[in-house]
Structure 1
Amino acid sequence: MILQDFLLPGLRHVMKQSAQLLLLALLVWMLLLFAVFFYFTDSQVTQLHRTTSIFNSESQHSTHVQRSSRAIMASHNAPWAMFAERRGPFQRKQVFQPPRAVEEFQFRNFGKRRKEYRKNVMKPPETEFSKTWSVVRGLWKGQVSSKLLGQRLQQAMKNYVLSNKYKVLYKGQRKANNDRQEILCQIKEQAQLRTLNSSEQPFAHLGFQPLVPPQLQQAYRTCAVVTSAGAILKSSLGREIDSHDAVLRFNAAPSKGYEKDVGSKTTIRIINSQILANPQHRFNSSLIYKNITLVAWDPAPYTIDLHKWYQNPDYDLFNPYITQRKNFPEQPFYILHPSFIWKLWDIVQSNTLEDIQPNPPSSGFIGIVLMMNLCEEVDVYEYIPSMRKTDLCHYHEKYYDAACTFGAYHPLLYEKLLVKRMSTAFEQDLKKKGKVTLPGFSKINCPL
């Protein structure tokens, strides 16, 4: 009993100490576990934060590069250019851009975006692509409105109407129900071809007389207008296009390598002023501008102030034009008179009740009416999209945007609707070939 009384208190003391040590060890183990847990959790959050920061930084840098590349384009690509300084024949004016203009640069559809930008452009969302088909079907039927466009294009159009860079003040009538014959007679009466000559100032004073070739006149029976639309790829229309007496192409669109779809013949090439001014297009050396008739254009103010236009064109086309005419006087080369450009705009606006963009018409519409002046019959390919409709802007460039088809800067949607209303093409030609057929002015009989 004495031994038991002696051992039990010691045993109890040892067990108490062991329990305390066990609890302490358990506590330490739990603290260590929590420390490890928080360490890895914090590392992942930090890594995620860093990744997100890098992504945002790269996105901002990419956006800045894209905006910068667009900002150096001429006012064909800078719709909000309001203050400009003349730099020289091959330098772009510096422009002021209000904040809301940033998104608008993507809508200019002349195909003048920098190559490094084009390579990184992704296709638009499938939902946007699908939505465009309702607009295409509306064009096939000759019944379409800007309300069918996506919100992005609608907003861009509204912004251009509000900006009114060229100070357009349309005072004519508007009518949406003119029939085909009325439209044809209107365009024949009001859109007679006019090119720059030496009789008006400041060009008479500047000595343009020996530079300007004789006026362009009707010379062809059948003509093809080949747009640069991406939908012409895989069309196999090349042979049909080349069967025409004359073929019109646009800007820097090549035929080499695409002969099966677009043909190989080129008779006339209509070029906007950037082709002349921007060294990227190699106007002085590229073979696509040689041995054909050239027709250049640049929009003047809506008031047709020729002095102001000469001093401050969207791109400096006059110095390159003078140089080219002196070096190659045998090559027919014309500059469209600004009054011709704005007459076409007036015609488009007069045939719709909606407010169209107060910017010059597209090269496509200008080229179509140009050929109606020169030809007895004009076939236009992929101006109104066929069943091959795609958001690929141009067949020779990897850039996607529905604005290239339906317009944002240019009133393309309204131009195409007007062309459809004038066309005599069969529905199958329109859907399968993207082809519309128009009579030349010489074949349009109007009441006296």
Structure 2
Amino acid sequence: FNTCAIVSNAGALNGSNLGHIIDSHDLVLRFNHAPTAGYEKDVGTKTTIRILNSQVVSKKHFKFLKNKMYTGIKILVWDPCNYSSSLEQWKEKPDFDVFTPYIKHRRSKPRTNLHLLDPRVLWTLWDFLQAHTSVRIRPNPPSSGFLGIALLLPHCDKVRLFEYIPSLRMTPRCHYFDREVDTSCTFGVWHPLAAEKLLSLVLNEEDDFTTFQTGYITISGYNKFKCSS
């Protein structure tokens, strides 16, 4: 892909008018149950991939098995494990019951491109993040956003992340689609969000106006990334 967009769920997307820019990308990645209907002007309409955490898949009120939001696209589902857990240990005791709805979805919607992440990958990303952070970070798996970056960098010439780095529109609202107020959604309590965002900012190729006023950063994919000597 030439250009890929990662659309956060941040409340700062409200009033951003970024929808047309987001939809201009070859691939658009979204997270969890974030809607586009009713928010097209700010977040666009295109969805190529959704990354879903195991709560969205397992809790009935998210309607994973019924909502059309989860059909006709590529879906990657993840559930965390302990740092030292084997795959078998995780399968015996996942954080949430991800396997039952996963199997039901595969059987009822066989055309949906649905995948389940090996949870050990999350700790590989955590190791990378810790290796590039000067202080000790929280020993919890990285966020879906950081997973999205890792997923797309091998496949996209340019990856643009919308409101991953907070712009001047930053708000205490967690999501653009609800009224929940919690600043930890931006800076993190469980996920090591601050470390993720600082590393992403180091890799950012946009100027300050685009980053903090318009509201997105750009990172070159692996095949375009140039390391300084």
* Equivalent of 2:20 in 239, 250, 254: 239
Matched, 1:253 2:20: no
* Equivalent of 1:418 in 194, 199, 207: 199
Corresponding letter in the other structure for 2:59? N
Q: Displaced runs of 4+ in structure 1, greater than 6 A? A: none
Asked if structure 2 preserves the Cα contact closer than 8 Å seen for 1:270 and 1:294, the reply is yes
Structure 2 counterpart of 1:263:
44
Asked if structure 2 preserves the Cα contact closer than 8 Å seen for 1:382 and 1:433, the reply is no
* Equivalent of 2:102 in 296, 299, 321: 321
Structure 2 counterpart of 1:302:
83
Structure 2 counterpart of 1:163:
none
Long gaps (5+) in structure 1: 1-219
Asked if structure 1 preserves the Cα contact closer than 8 Å seen for 2:10 and 2:174, the reply is yes
Structure 1 counterpart of 2:220:
439
Structure 2 counterpart of 1:356:
137
CA distance in 2, matches of 1:276, 1:400: 23
CA distance in 2, matches of 1:400, 1:364: 20
Shift of 1:307: 1.0
CA distance in 2, matches of 1:337, 1:443: 27
Corresponding letter in the other structure for 1:267? T
Matched, 1:386 2:177: no
Asked if structure 2 preserves the Cα contact closer than 8 Å seen for 1:393 and 1:404, the reply is yes
CA distance in 2, matches of 1:368, 1:391: 24
Q: Superposition pairs for residues 6-405 of structure 1, below 5 Å? A: 220-405=1-186
CA deviations over 1:354-375 (Å, ceiling 9, x no partner): 2211111111111122111221
Q: Secondary structure at the match of 1:224?
A: strand
CA deviations over 1:197-225 (Å, ceiling 9, x no partner): xxxxxxxxxxxxxxxxxxxxxxx221100
TM-score (norm 1): 0.50
CA deviations over 1:284-331 (Å, ceiling 9, x no partner): 111111111000001122124111100111111112111211222221
Asked if structure 1 preserves the Cα contact closer than 8 Å seen for 2:11 and 2:171, the reply is yes
Asked if structure 2 preserves the Cα contact closer than 8 Å seen for 1:349 and 1:356, the reply is yes
CA distance in 1, matches of 2:170, 2:226: 34
CA deviations over 1:48-76 (Å, ceiling 9, x no partner): xxxxxxxxxxxxxxxxxxxxxxxxxxxxx
Which has the larger Rg? 1
Q: 1:436 to 1:289 in 2, by over 3 A?
A: same
CA distance in 2, matches of 1:318, 1:373: 28
Structure 2 counterpart of 1:428:
209
Asked if structure 1 preserves the Cα contact closer than 8 Å seen for 2:71 and 2:109, the reply is no
CA deviations over 1:259-290 (Å, ceiling 9, x no partner): 00000100000000111110010001111111
Shift of 1:352: 1.7
CA distance in 1, matches of 2:207, 2:33: 30
CA distance in 2, matches of 1:446, 1:381: 24
Structure with more helix by fraction:
1
Q: Which has the higher contact order (CA 8 A, sep 6+)?
A: 2
Asked if structure 2 preserves the Cα contact closer than 8 Å seen for 1:393 and 1:399, the reply is yes
Structure 2 counterpart of 1:409:
190
Structure 2 counterpart of 1:130:
none
Structure 2 counterpart of 1:203:
none
CA distance in 2, matches of 1:439, 1:339: 25
CA distance in 2, matches of 1:440, 1:337: 23
Structure with more strand by fraction:
2
Asked if structure 1 preserves the Cα contact closer than 8 Å seen for 2:72 and 2:111, the reply is no
Q: 1:446 to 1:425 in 2, by over 3 A?
A: closer
Asked if structure 2 preserves the Cα contact closer than 8 Å seen for 1:300 and 1:309, the reply is yes
Shift of 1:445: 5.0
Corresponding letter in the other structure for 1:273? S
CA deviations over 1:399-421 (Å, ceiling 9, x no partner): 11111111111100010000000
Corresponding letter in the other structure for 1:234? G
Shift of 1:337: 1.6
Identity across matched positions, percent = 46
Corresponding letter in the other structure for 1:282? K
Q: 1:385 to 1:336 in 2, by over 3 A?
A: same
CA distance in 2, matches of 1:424, 1:445: 11
